[in-house]
Amino acid sequence: MTQTAIDYADSHKEQHLNELIELLSIPSISTLREHIPDIRRAAQWVADQMVAIGLEDVRIYFTKGHPVVFGQWGKAGPDAPTVLVYGHYDVQPVDPLDEWHTDPFQPTIRDGNLYARGASDDKGQFFTHLKSVQSYLETAGRLPVNIKFMIEGEEEVGSPHLGEFIDEHLDRLSADIALVSDSHILAPDQPSILYGLRGMVYTEVVVTGPDHDLHSGTFGGAVRNPANALCGIIAALKDSDGRITIPGFYDNVRLDDEERATLARVPFDEESFRRE
């Protein structure tokens, strides 16, 4: 059954590629207000695609920022697990343009690779999941799991309204596992399943010093320069081995012996890593 789905995907490769090129041609840059119409157009394209492949309950949710597109297929039954697939249809700006060999919104195939803004981050990735679902439904007529898609339009600006959206739709988004369709593989022939990513913390540190200039010859040793103090604070966040020194930071970071052994077996090419 799985092989039949793969055969379907192979035989429709050209069609799927053309559809992806159509999506990649939409300049859905979330950071620039002049591209708001393109953002809406990309959201509608994703929703239309969800309907076309057989998903149900497809909706575009308008948030305080850019829309979230939702669709699901739930006919695997109540005992089957539910997978929530996350992705984003917005892209980064394209500057500097002179670094591009081709127009970033005129997708171009070169040496077997498809070049366009969003080809890998992230339109190409979630498109692959959509086409996998379609291939199953077109051949087996059903999926082995229930599946939901949540595709947002603000990832490239930090997803400022996604948390609120999730809180408002917890029941609709409930799932047994979440699959982030926005990650990395080691090589074209080495797929990967990522189950943990580093997060980000935004904070503002204010260092206050004298309210007027002080002569360094008189006060240099007694009064610390706020700029130097700030450098010291930042430098102290990590030790010489790169470990974070904040007390309690690693309390909830768990990596058991089996996980370490599994990770150690993953092929790793240092030279390729350096080039990337």
Q: Which residues are catalytic?
A: 90, 155
Backbone angles phi, psi at 243, to 5 degrees: -80, 140
Interacting residues of 157 by C-beta distance below 8 A, sequence separation 6+ = 30, 31, 65, 90
DSSP per residue, 231-255 = HHHHHTTB-TTS-B-STTTTTT---
Residues 6 or more apart in contact with residue 184 via CB below 8 angstroms:
192, 194
Farthest-apart Cα atoms in the chain, separation: 82
> What is the rounded (10 degree) CA torsion for 135, 136, 138, 142?
-160
> Rounded CA gap, 76 and 89, in Å?
27
